[in-house]
Amino acid sequence: MSALPLEGIKILDLTRVLAGPLSAQMLGDLGAEVIKIERPGGGDDARAFGPPYLQDPEGKANNNNSFYLCANRNKKSVTVNIASPEGQDIIRELAKSCDVMMENYKVGDLKRYRLDYESIKAINPGIIYCSVTGFGQTGPYAPRAGYDAILQAMGGLMSVTGHIDGEPGEGPMKVGPSIVDYMTGMNTSIGILSALFHRKVNGGEGQHVDVCLFDTVIASLSHWLQIYLVNGVTPPRRGTWGNGGMPAGVFRATDGELMLVVGNDGQFARTCAVLGAPELATDPKFLKNNDRVVHGKEIMAIFAGLFLKKPVAYWLDELEKAGVPSGPINNFEQVFSDPHVQSRGMRVKVEHPFEPELSLIRNAISFSGTPVKDYRAPPLLGAHTREVLATIGYDDAKVEALKAQKIV
């Protein structure tokens, strides 16, 4: 099998919680050697974000919870107290041989330890140094800490998410998962890979890559935000309604709900036929998609009544035959029971010290020539400290002395 795409790339990862660790995990999946730096004793903040935790074979409390497990596979965990001069020396020594250094500390925090970009650049001019923050390296909010939910609110995402005004439960709503963290992680990976490409192919130098949650969530609003930029009007919350092809939304059947998106006029005509109301397709109010957008409440109400006549499975089968996009509203158990999800191998098994077959979510990218097949479990805290420090000349005696001083 061919080498993985990033084999030979070495990454020093000082990020914590979710956005930065997700990016480092993606790069580790693709073959990079990722050295994760954690605090002695406590480790990554994510380890303390609550249950569920893996069960220790001896029944002891541990810090291997779902939040940490989702973002830290294919890494080596090294414990270093970067607040100590000796710990700072270790980081600088490791950085000398790394291609990338990642951090998500508050702006300016690492400068006092001489671990900021300029300090690291002085010892490794070619390094790609990536900072992941809530609000970026510049601007009046730069010093602030930022978490996903705060940025969902400040970036406008919550203003267009939630039940339609006038419906029960109306008002701004947070997206369930930490979606801004995940998107920021992807942007971080793109930034790092682009900088690596520039350095190697274009003869460029190392550089500082600045990625933040605030920029990411604003950019992610895409066509929703473009509506405001075109006409100065903020789109209303639409609940499950679509913002393009109409009708689009969740419809209740006799035994549950389904999601439907009618993307064009042809699909609308076929949907009307499936619903037993072909005359709707020639009604002047609904003839073209723009007409259906204007008369959205009316057509959605008509469709809602028609879908109530039969069960979900019937509608999904008939819509599939008609070539109209639709799908069930799956819970997580149903997602992983879905034959297509199983065929795509979205659940992978890894060997973990606490769980012989720990389930993880596979990397979402598939390659024909360099497939990602090597998934290593998220490491126990400090599991690779001796191994990694040995590469910079620290023997067992030195490591034991540092452990006694709580430096590693």
Q: Provide the pLDDT for residue 244.
A: 80
**215 included as an active-site residue:** no
Pick the catalytic residue from 13, 181, 210, 215.
Answer: 181
What is the Cα–Cα distance from 185 to 28, expressed in whole angstroms? Answer: 13
Residues 40, 63 contacting (CB under 8 angstroms) = no
What is the pTM assigned to this prediction?
0.94
Q: Is the pLDDT of residue 365 over 60?
A: yes
Q: Provide the pLDDT for residue 242.
A: 82
Residues 104, 131 contacting (CB under 8 angstroms) = yes
DSSP string covering 44-61? SGGGGS-S-BPPPTT---
Q: Provide the pLDDT for residue 206.
A: 96
Token readout for 313 is 């499975």
The shares of helix, strand and coil residues in the chain, as percent rounded to the nearest 5, are 40, 15, 45
What is the Cα–Cα distance from 103 to 86, expressed in whole angstroms? Answer: 19
C-alpha to C-alpha distances, 15 to 62, 92, 103, nearest whole angstrom: 21, 16, 5
The owner of tokens 């109409």 is 246
What is the Cα–Cα distance from 349 to 97, expressed in whole angstroms? Answer: 32
Please report which confidence band the pLDDT of residue 400 belongs to, taking 50, 70 and 90 as the band edges: very high
Residue 302 neighbours by CB distance under 10 Å: 18
What is the Cα–Cα distance from 316 to 63, expressed in whole angstroms? Answer: 43
What is the Cα–Cα distance from 397 to 67, expressed in whole angstroms? Answer: 34
Tell me whether residue 61 is exposed, middle or buried, using C-beta atoms within 10 angstroms of its C-beta: 0 to 12, 13 to 18, 19 or more.
Answer: exposed
Q: Is the pLDDT of residue 380 over 70?
A: yes
Residues 378, 60 contacting (CB under 8 angstroms) = no
What is the Cα–Cα distance from 187 to 211, expressed in whole angstroms? Answer: 7
Token readout for 58 is 């001896």
Token readout for 126 is 């070619």
Average pLDDT for the chain: 96
Taking the alpha carbons at both ends of the chain, their separation in whole angstroms is 37
Q: Provide the pLDDT for residue 2.
A: 67
pLDDT, tens digit (0-9, with 9 covering 90-100), for 191-234? 999 999 999 998 879 999 999 999 999 999 999 999 999 999 98
The torsion region of residue 382 among left (phi > 0), alpha (psi -120 to 50) and beta comes to: left
The CA-based dihedral angle spanning residues 279, 281, 283, 287, taken in that order and rounded to the nearest 10 degrees: -170
DSSP 108: T
Q: Is the pLDDT of residue 1 over 80?
A: no
pLDDT, tens digit (0-9, with 9 covering 90-100), for 55-87? 999 999 999 999 999 999 999 999 999 999 999
Give me the architecture of the 248-328 domain, per CATH: 2-Layer Sandwich (3.30)
Domain spans of the chain, in order of start: 10-219+348-404, 248-328
| Residues contacting 2, CB < 8 A, separation 6+ | 369, 370
pLDDT, tens digit (0-9, with 9 covering 90-100), for 285-333? 999 999 999 999 999 999 999 999 999 999 999 999 999 999 999 999 9
Q: 254-292 in b/e burial notation, b at 16+ Cβ within 10 A?
A: eeeebbbbbeebebbbbbbebbeeeebbebeebeebebb
Q: Is the pLDDT of residue 374 over 70?
A: yes
CATH class of 10-219+348-404: alpha beta
Please report which confidence band the pLDDT of residue 396 belongs to, taking 50, 70 and 90 as the band edges: very high
Q: Smallest Cα–Cα separation from 15: which of 43, 40, 49? A: 43
What is the Cα–Cα distance from 187 to 189, expressed in whole angstroms? Answer: 5
Residues forming beta bridges with residue 261, ordered by sequence position: 248
Q: 196 vs 1, which has greater pLDDT? A: 196
